[in-house]
Amino acid sequence: MAMALSGELFEEPLTISDSARADALACLDTWDYDTLALQEASGGHALLLVGEALFERHKLHEPCHVDRAVLHRFLRALEACYGDHEYHNAMHGADVALGVHHFIVNFGLTARLTKLELLAALVGALVHDFDHPGTNNGHEVRAGTERALMHTDAILEHHHLHSTFKLLAVPDFDLFGAMPADDRELCRKLIVDMVLATDLKMHNDFTSTLSTLAAQHGATAAGALPSRENFTSPFQAQALVGVPLLLAVALKFADLSHCFKPFHIHKHWVERITNEFWALGDRERQLGIAVSPLCDRDKDSNVPKSQIGFFNFICVPFYSIVADLIDPTMLPWLRVQANLQEWGRRR
C-alpha cells in the first residue's frame, strides 16, 4: 500500500485497449461474465474497468458526489494493493462486484435501493477481501499474527475493512470525501455490515435466517411452483427484507459465485483457490502449526471430492434457499446443481 500512498503508482500513464473496455461492459450484461479473461485482455486491470463501468452504468457519480478522477485513483490503488494470491486478489474483487450487480439488476431489485445504497453495495463488493493475506481466521489465531491481536473476532473481515478505510483516509482516494456527513456515515455502515457478513463462521446462522423467511414467504410456501405466476419475492418488500439483509445476501451470493459459472470458468477458479489453500498449508507446516482444513496438498489432493463437500455443505443450502426466496428457476441455482453433478462424474 505504501506505493499507492506515496503516489508512485501513478507515475506511468495507463493504456488499456478499447476492446478490453468493451469486454468489461459486456460482463455487465451476462451471467457468463469471465473476469479471468477480462484480466488478461486488460493487462491486469479488470477491477479498474469493472468499477468504472459499474459506476457509469448505474449513474452514481453526480447523485453520490463522486468525482471520476478520485474514483479512478481509488480503483487503481485498490487494484494495486489487493494482494497477489492466486484466488483472493483484485480479480476476485472485480468478479464479486459483478455478481452483486447481477443479483440486484437481474432480480429486479434496483428500485429497492437509493443511489447511495447501490454505491455502498458495489464498493462493499470491490473491497470485501482487500489486502487479503492468503490465510483464514483459524490460521491467524493459531499463528498469533498481528492481525489476530488487533481484531479479536472476524479477523480477516475486520482487516479488509481496516485496510479499506485506511486507503479512503487519503484525500486523493477518498470516494466519500464530497458526500454530506450523513451519507458518508450510512455508506460506511452498510459496507461494514456487508463485509462482516462474509465471515463463513456466520454461514449457518445466515442460512437459518433465510430458511425462516422462506418457510413463510418463499415460493414453495406460497404454492407457486412450478409456474411462479402468483409469486412475489419477499426481497421486493422492505417490511420483510430490509436493505442491510438484501445487501448481505447479494454479497454472499456473489462471493461464492464461481460455483454457478459455466463449468470451464468455475474450474479455473477452483484451481486457483486450491493452489492458494495448498500454499497456506505449506506455510503452516513451516510454522509448525496445525494445517487448515483442505490445505494439505497430500491429504486434500482429491479436488472433485473437496468440491462436492463444498457444494453440499455451503453452496447448495444457500443457493437453494435464495432461489426459493427470489426465483426457483434462476440460472445460477440451475448451474449450481449442474456443476455439482459434473464434480460427481469426475470424482
Query: Rounded to a whole number, what is the distance in angstroms from the first to the last CA of the chain?
Result: 42
Contact between 33 and 53 (Cβ < 8 Å): no
158 part of a folded domain: yes
Judge contact between 134 and 276, C-beta under 8 A: yes
List, in sequence order, every residue forming a beta bridge with 89; answer none if it has no partner.
Answer: 84
Whether residue 212 is contained in a domain is answered as no
All 3 cell numbers of residue 187? Answer: 455508506
Domain CATH for 194: 1.10.1300.10
Binding site for AMP: residue ranges?
Answer: 88-92, 129, 255, 307
Residue 211 lies in a domain: no
Please report whether residue 146 resides in a domain. Answer: yes
Binding residues: 88-92, 128-129, 255, 307
Please report, for residues 50, 101, 238, the alpha-carbon distance to residue 185 in angstroms, rounded to integers and kept in the order given.
Answer: 25, 22, 21
- Evaluate whether residue 219 is within a structural domain: no
Whole domain around residue 50: which residue ranges? 2-198+224-346
For cell 463485509, name the residue.
195
Q: What is the DSSP string of 117-176?
A: HHHHHHHHHHHTTTT--S--HHHHHHHT-HHHHH-SSSHHHHHHHHHHHHHHTSGGG-TT
pLDDT in tens, the chain (347 residues): 666 666 667 767 788 999 999 999 999 999 999 999 999 999 999 999 999 999 999 999 999 999 999 999 999 999 999 999 999 999 999 999 999 999 999 999 999 999 999 999 999 999 999 999 999 999 999 999 999 999 999 999 999 999 999 999 999 999 999 999 999 999 999 999 999 999 999 999 999 999 999 999 999 998 866 656 678 999 999 999 999 999 999 999 999 999 999 999 999 999 999 999 999 999 999 999 999 999 999 999 999 999 999 999 999 999 999 999 999 999 999 999 999 999 999 99
Binding residues for Zn(2+): 92, 128-129, 255
- State how many domains the chain has: 1
Residue 75 belongs to some domain of the structure: yes
Residue positions annotated with a catalytic role: 88
Contacts of 198 by beta carbon, 8 Å cutoff, 6+ apart: 128, 129, 157, 251, 252, 255
168 within a domain of the structure (yes/no): yes
Query: CA-to-CA distance for 233 and 104, rounded, in angstroms?
Result: 13
Examine residue 214 and state whether it is found in any structural domain, yes or no. no
